[in-house]
Structures are given as structure tokens and as C-alpha cells.
Amino acid sequence: MRIALRLLLACLLIAGSAQVPAVPAPPERAPYTLPDVEQIPLVASGSGREYRILVATPPLPPPPGGYPVIYVLDGNNMFLTTMETVRAYARRLDDAVKQRALVVGIGYPPGTDLPEARTYDLTPDGHAPAGRHRTGGAPAFLAFIEDDLKPVIAREYPVDPAQQSLIGHSLAGQFVLDTLIRRPDAFQTYVAMSSSFWFGDHALPAHIDAFADARSGSDPPRRILLTVGQHEERPPPSAWVEDPAKGRHILERLRHRGQVTHARRSAQRLAAAPGMVVDFAEIAGEDHGTVIPASIARGVAFILTGPVEIPPVPSAAQYMALGPEGRYRLRMQVRALPDPHRIPWLARLKSTLQSGLDADTRRQLHDERQRMDREFGSEPHAPRREEPASAPAVAD
């Protein structure tokens, strides 16, 4: 027994004296630098406020006319998502040449009180302060973009002055619409995400109405996308599960703001104005904050897709003369239109065909459309239902 213990002790001593492998030191950490992104400090000549401008250049050379430019408001928070979305389009194999764009984020230097700075810069003048933050700096901020920032970008980068876009969310979405109203010549494309229609006692919708009424056929064409989250006017189901009283409070506040109602109505009013190509997207399942990535994706797609042609509504005889393939191509062209233009177009075509064709011919056209959609896999996506179609009605 003693001999066994001595042998075990000797083995332990030998093992303990063996060379223990050294643990490698952790790799040295360093800040990550984004490729093809530059930072430009810029001071507004009018207000003296300092800004931090972030510029992402495309990985492809510019087209002959120069890069399209996407100006991103709230650059501290929105620039990276917008930049990567644009680069995702550039990586696509199809139409890659068309998807090149310079992304310019308009942000603030470190140490800036962001809520204070953005509230002032993004709100129009003539209104009471929003909480503890002063308001009314939008005219000066727009002057900075037009008089200071754009000349620097045009001097330092090959850009196309005829392809300039502005994108913003919340108060920045309101700034986008306010810019469209004040200076429609500033940009060719406007993307207003979850615009703060409530600000200034809901003054924005009336300004949009006046702008739409004043448009004439001689005004240059403009493109505008308005997006909003489904739960920006009604709370999600979880709000009622957690606390019904809280759910009712949220519902009253959201209904007062009327984000979805105002966005949809504004899209309709602008779409009816001459020379305006307008799209509207109510994004399912999202609220005012969570809708941002999806809205940016919709906005970038809207910008990079470029202008769309709205075809004239054919007469019944012209529609029949197109033949099955011609009718299918026309249907695909119309389905690609933004909703505020597609829906009225289809209503006019339906009225034309009902008055110009008999019931049997219209039924044959209906069967033709369904057959070709099945053949080419182009069936329209069915909207999501919150209840099964067969579910019994539930009394309130």
C-alpha cells in the first residue's frame, strides 16, 4: 500500500513539474473603420452650428452623369442602415450599374445633445416649443443643406445634380415634407418615413393640401414615398395583454396623432397633383421605432428604382387588340406602379371594360389573367389577415 502511494505521489510531482503551455495573449483590439466612408466636419455659414457629415462612396465607378445622391437626415442613427441597404443593391447581379448611389449622412459631432439639436433643426418656425426643446430651425437647416453642404459634395465627388434624394424619419420625415412644400426644386425624390404630422397642432396636412392645390402641369415632376408602421395609430395586441388600461391610453394618444390616417391621405392628395409620382406603404407589425429598418429598405428601393411611367388607360377595343401577351405586359407594368396610382388606374380600366365589353368577354379576360398569373408565377400577394377567413364574427 505504501509503495502504491509513493508511486502516485511521484507521478503527481512529475506532472506538476511539466511545462504548462502558455495562454496566448488576446489579440489587440482597434476601432473598426468602414471601407469607402469619409467624415467631413462642416460648419453652417448662416447659423454657425457644427455638423458631422458622413459620406459613403459606391464600390463601382460613377455613371456618365455622376452618382445619384441620397441625403440622410439624423445621420448619427440612420446613415449606416441606409448605406448598407444601398450597398446591398450594388451587390446584386441584375441592373448593378443602375444601383450606384452616394450616401450622405447629415449628423452631429460627438458631445452634441442630439434630441435638442435635431428638434430645433427639423421643425418649422412659427410653432410653440416641443417639450423642453426649442423649435423653428428648419429654414436655417435647409439653407445649410442647400448653400453649404451640397456645394461641398458637388465639389468633392462626381454627382448628378438631377438625381438628388432626401430621406428622414419622424421629425425628419416632417422636415422632408416641409422641404417638398417650401423648396420642391431642392430634390427630385423625397422619402418621408413616419412623419410627425402631429407637430404644430397638425398643421402639416393643411400645408400639403395647399401645396397639392397649387401644383400645375408646368411644374417639374417630383417623386415622394410616405411610409408608416401599422401600430402607429393603434397599439399592438401585446399592449392590451400587459395592461388594458395602458392599451386604452396608448390608443387614445395614437389616434390623436393620426399618423397612418394623415400619411395615407397625404399620399392620396399628392398623387392627385400634377407631376407627382407618389407611393405609400403601411408596414405591417411595426410601430414608430421598429419600422425604421423596413422603411429605409422601402425608401432606398423607391429611390434606386427611378421614375416610373404611368401608361394611359386603354379603351376596351385597344385593350382587346393587345392580345394575351400584350395584356399581360400591361398588367405587370401597372402592378409595378405605386398604390396611389395603380388603384385609380385599375378602377378606370374596370369601368372602361364594363361599359365596352359584354359579360362573357369580361369573364374570359378574368380567366386569362388567372391562367397567366399561374403560368408565370405572378399571382398578387394575398394580404395578411388577423383572423382566419372562416372565423366566426365576434361581438365587440
C-alpha–C-alpha distance, residues 163 and 66, integer Å:
9
pLDDT (tens place) for every residue of the chain, 396 residues total: 565 556 555 555 555 555 656 778 888 888 888 889 999 999 999 999 999 999 999 988 888 999 999 999 999 999 999 999 999 888 775 554 456 899 999 999 999 999 999 999 999 987 766 577 889 999 999 999 999 999 999 999 999 999 999 999 999 999 999 999 999 999 999 999 999 999 988 899 999 999 999 999 999 999 999 999 999 988 887 777 777 787 788 888 888 888 999 999 999 999 999 999 999 999 999 999 999 999 999 999 999 987 778 899 999 999 999 999 999 999 999 988 888 888 889 999 999 999 999 999 999 999 999 999 999 888 886 544 444 333 333 333
- Catalytic member of 232, 233, 282, 286: 232
The Cα 53–Cα 233 span in angstroms is 34
> Which pairs with CB-CB distance under 8 Å and at least 24 residues apart come from 331-336?
331/369, 332/378, 333/309, 335/378, 335/380, 336/308
Q: Domains for the chain: give ranges and CATH numbers.
A: 37-305 (3.40.50.1820), 316-376 (no CATH)
Residue 368, amino acid: E
Alpha helices per DSSP H over 204-338: 204-214, 237-242, 244-257, 259-271, 292-305, 316-321, 323-335
Rounded-to-integer distance, Cα 171 and Cα 176, Å: 9
Beta strand pairing status for 159-169 and 189-193? parallel
Asked if 232 is an active-site residue, the reply is: yes
Q: Cβ(197)–Cβ(263) under 8 Å?
A: yes
Q: 169, 231, 262, 288: which one is catalytic?
A: 288
Classified as helix, coil or strand, 324 is helix
Q: What CA–CA distance (Å, rounded) separates 330 from 84?
A: 33
Q: Under a CB-based contact definition with an 8 Å cutoff, are residues 100 and 90 in contact?
A: yes
* Residue of 170, 194, 196, 266 marked catalytic: 170
Please say if 315 is a catalytic residue: no
| 288 noted as active-site residue | yes
